[in-house]
Chains A and B, each alone.
Chain A
Amino acid sequence: MASLVLAEHDNQTLSDTTAKTVTAAAAISQPVHVLVAGFNCGAVSDAAAKIAGVEKVLVADDALYAHRVAETMETLILSVAEKYDAILAPATTTGKNILPRVAAKLDVPQISEILKVVSADTFERPIYAGNAIQTVQASSGKKIITVRTTTFKAAGEGGNAQIEKIAAASDPGTAKFAGEALSKSERPELTSAKIVISGGRGLGSGENFKLIERVADRLHAAVGASRAAVDAGYVPNDYQVGQTGKVVAPALYLAVGISGAIQHLAGMKDSKVIAAINKDEEAPIFQVADFGLVADLFQALPEMDQELAKRGR
């Protein structure tokens, strides 16, 4: 049979979470096909066709899919589901919104946020905010899977997949897109950045996040935050790193003024190197940090900004 990967994109750019999901799909069932559902999304299907290991790209280019509303995506995926024994999506808010509907309609359980493909039917996934890892085996039937992409390497480029247009499926008419407010940022995206600098309640205000942003800009880093900082209204919710926010695994994670609640650690503990700046030397964050600096962030951050400038960054 084959596996189908739901492409993550914004009608213009293909997210690298797609190539990572392709890696997981290839370990489960080959060949791998990618489904691009969008509107005026030619650039996305071209990019998907270049992912190494992808045999075919199915494109449903229709106004109905401009925002990938779950109800319309369900009928589209079901219209092609028969040919696949595994259907995967990155565990983004889009994938999480759509795939359980597909699983329910196919009467199969979904396996959420896999970390590892042990074999074609056995997977590791986090439970209890990553405080335990469950190894589950799927029974017969189609496998519907969301993939925690931070733990999979992106499939390379150099593919030359065939692009096949498919028809839009019926619109159930139960829900429609009514607007969005996306945070604009020149900085890299949190989940794909090589360096992430996050601030916590210790920052004291949204204004003070500028101290973090200045350093982040020198390092081309993404800016994140703890749940406490988001709840306090310092930064928007999409900055949140943690079990209930985003899960990141950059080469460097710098936690500033973050105590290190379990909730937060669940979202960043797979980072390659963790560094922490906190004035409380007993802060739990130091128990997972490779490098810890006990210091007042209001002195340390400007100093880091100057030091980086001195070093030509």
Chain B
Amino acid sequence: MKVLVPVKRVIDYNVKVRVKSDQSGVDLANVKMSMNPFDEIAVEEAVRLKEKGKASEIIAVSIGPQQASETIRTALAMGADRGILVKSEGEVEPLVVAKILKAIVEAEKPDLVITGKQAIDDDSNQTGQMLAALLGWGQGTFAHKLELNDGTARIEREIDGGLQTVEVKLPAVMTTDLRLNEPRYASLPNIMKAKKKPIEDKTPADYGVDVTPRLKVLKVSEPPKRSAGVKVKSVADLLDKLTEAGVL
């Protein structure tokens, strides 16, 4: 079976983001960019399926600027077979991403789409669910464990009270949570090999999708700051202070 893995280029998770002084957004200039960590988990899961002989081909898709091809290369170095870059500058809303992915799914006919549960830049947590709905497919979001059976996927999901298992008919969409697996580092030979793997260049227009944002970002501001308080000397002192503050 074919697996499609959408991956997003985002500010590296170790970078402390800075809000621009004119409140127009977050400063992206000269900032290290990486693959969204949840998407790395998605690539890893797809590669493991291939290693187990369950997946035959893995296609990594990214929607973003030209540099998003580097994110696709990372996926190829981890074990994906080929890439599709849908070039688009500026913000692309989750619904737009889902529409582009839907068109790609219709062309490529994968049995499973695996992607991150959310991107760590806009924290939307929408794309996988939207794609599943647009396709009329079932979904297993926030996946903790995947088991593929004949025509179905059993997906254990991380939910607020613990874990839930759903049985989803294939084809389906799965979004990854943190504990699904631990992504590998690409080895040097695999990084070299990845350079020869094909990446197809596309545009949203090729799929007939209008990328104009529907939500208007009025401003991006700093969150209210907390400052360091006082150090206390002992446990008794701490309890006194908390009692005074009226929170015990």
Residue ranges of A at the interface with B (Cβ–Cβ < 8 Å): 10, 67, 69-71, 74, 92-94, 96-105, 107-113, 122, 126-139, 141, 172-183, 191, 194-195, 219, 227, 230-231, 236-238, 243-244, 246, 251-252, 262, 269, 272-275, 277, 281, 286-295, 300, 303-304, 307-308, 311, 313
Contact = CB atoms under 8 A, between A and B. Distances in A.
Question: Which of under 10, 10 to 19, 20 to 34, or 35 or more describes the interface residues of B?
Answer: 35 or more
A101 B98 CA distance: 11
Given A136-B216, A237-B179, A93 B158 contact: yes
A252 B214 contact: no
A104 B98 contact: yes
Interface stretch (B61-69, B161-169, B196-204): B161-169
Contacts of A71: 138-139
B94 A175 contact: no
Interface in B100-148: 120-134, 136-142, 144
A304 B237 CA distance: 10
B242 A275 contact: yes
A112 B125 contact: yes
B30 interface: no
A92 B153 CA distance: 24
Contacts of A286: 228, 231
Contacts of B163: 180-182, 237
A131 B223 contact: yes
Contacts of A277: 238
Interface stretch (B11-19, B42-50, B72-80, B186-194): B11-19
Nearest to A263: B13
B220 interface: yes
B235 A132 contact: no
Contacts, number: 258
22 contacts: A100-B130, A101-B133, A104-B95, A107-B95, A109-B94, A110-B130, A112-B124, A128-B11, A134-B219, A175-B139, A175-B172, A178-B154, A180-B159, A237-B144, A238-B162, A252-B247, A262-B16, A272-B247, A275-B238, A288-B226, A291-B230, A311-B239
A289 B138 CA distance: 44
A26 B178 CA distance: 35
Contact of A236 (B127, B157, B162, B228): B162
Binding site secondary structure of chain A: mixed
Contacts of B229: 274, 289-292
Given A173-B169, A178-B166, A262-B16, A70 B141 contact: yes
Contact of A127 (B122, B128, B140, B248): B122
A195 B167 CA distance: 37
B158 A237 contact: yes
A274 B120 contact: no
Nearest to A101: B133
Given A175-B167, A293-B238, 15 more contacts: A93-B141, A100-B127, A104-B134, A128-B11, A175-B172, A176-B167, A177-B167, A182-B162, A230-B179, A252-B247, A262-B16, A289-B229, A291-B230, A291-B242, A307-B235
Interface in B208-223: 214-223
A131 B17 CA distance: 7
B223 A135 contact: no
A111 B215 contact: yes
A219 B163 CA distance: 27
A180 B165 contact: yes
B232 interface: yes
Nearest to A78: B133
A133 B26 CA distance: 10
Contacts of B93: 109
Contacts of A136: 215-218
Nearest to B219: A135
Contacts of B144: 237
B19 A174 contact: no
Counting from the closest, the 10 A-B pairs by CB-CB distance are A174-B138, A175-B138, A100-B129, A290-B229, A104-B130, A101-B133, A252-B247, A100-B126, A182-B162, A104-B133
Contacts of A181: 162-164
B247 A100 contact: no
A274 B140 CA distance: 36
B29 interface: no
B95 A180 contact: no
B115 to A, nearest CB: 13
Contacts of B133: 74, 100-102, 104-105
Contacts of A307: 235-236, 239
A289 B242 CA distance: 12
A227 B13 CA distance: 15
A175 B164 contact: no
Interface in B1-39: 11, 16-17, 19, 26
Contacts of B216: 136-137, 139
A193 to B, nearest CB: 12
A102 B247 CA distance: 40
A295 B95 CA distance: 49
B137 A174 contact: yes
